[in-house]
Structure 1
Amino acid sequence: MNEVTKPHCDQEYYDMLEKLQALDFTLVELNLYLDTHPGDLAALQQFNQLALERRHLAEHFQHLYGPLQNFGHSFSRYPWEWVNVPWPWQV
């Protein structure tokens, strides 16, 4: 049986990816909360601040490591980068 080998990425790759996942989780939770508490200004401010932080971190990550999403949600440099980054199940 062949083992799936993980591609080699530096520690910053994993640290940034983990931070993005944590931000995504928090944004989903805040989104759900705000669906039922639309007048909570503090939660809305936190959502907007984290959404901006996530956008900046994602842009920086993609500049260093390539696209996070395909199908037009992320830009690619030449040559086509999507095939060069680790697939989600490889990380």
Structure 2
Amino acid sequence: MCNCNNMNSCNQEQDLMKQIQQISFLLVDLNLYLDNHPDCRQALEDYNILVEAMDELRKVYTQKYGPIMNFGTAKSDCPWQWVDDQPWPWENKRR
């Protein structure tokens, strides 16, 4: 069960996070493959496409729901906001 009042919004957030997780997995896999096959143009093209998709997904998620990493990828307004985000993005929202 979701902790938010709007199930549609909660489902959208979960779907977006799932997409981020899936692309993250693909990026790690391609990174490992490219370590062993650095001249594979198709893998490198796929990697670069996924990097762009990940950047866009992170931007959308951060704008709608807050940062998903604690440093280096999301700006903060004053006062510092990272510690104020609840629940944390990695916390299970089903309880």
Smaller-chain TM-score bracket? 0.7 to 0.9
Aligned to 1:89: 91
Aligned to 2:67: 67
Q: Distance in 2 between matches of 1:12 and 1:76?
A: 23
Instruction: Give the 3 Å change call, closer, same or farther, for CA 34–57 of structure 1 in structure 2.
Output: same
Query: Secondary structure in 2 aligned to 1:90?
Result: coil
Instruction: Give the 3 Å change call, closer, same or farther, for CA 33–39 of structure 1 in structure 2.
Output: same
Moved more, 7-16 or 44-53: 7-16
Instruction: Give the 3 Å change call, closer, same or farther, for CA 34–72 of structure 1 in structure 2.
Output: closer
Mapping of residues 32-43 of structure 1, within 5 Å: 32-43=32-43
Q: Distance in 2 between matches of 1:32 and 1:56?
A: 23
Task: Give TM-score, length-normalised by structure 2.
Answer: 0.79
Q: How large is the Cα RMSD of the aligned pairs?
A: 2.0
Instruction: Report if the CA contact (8 A) 2:16-2:61 is conserved.
Output: yes
Task: Give TM-score, length-normalised by structure 1.
Answer: 0.82
What runs of 5+ residues in structure 1 fail to find an aligned partner?
Answer: none
Q: Distance in 2 between matches of 1:18 and 1:78?
A: 30
Instruction: Report if the CA contact (8 A) 1:67-1:82 is conserved.
Output: no
Aligned to 1:7: 3
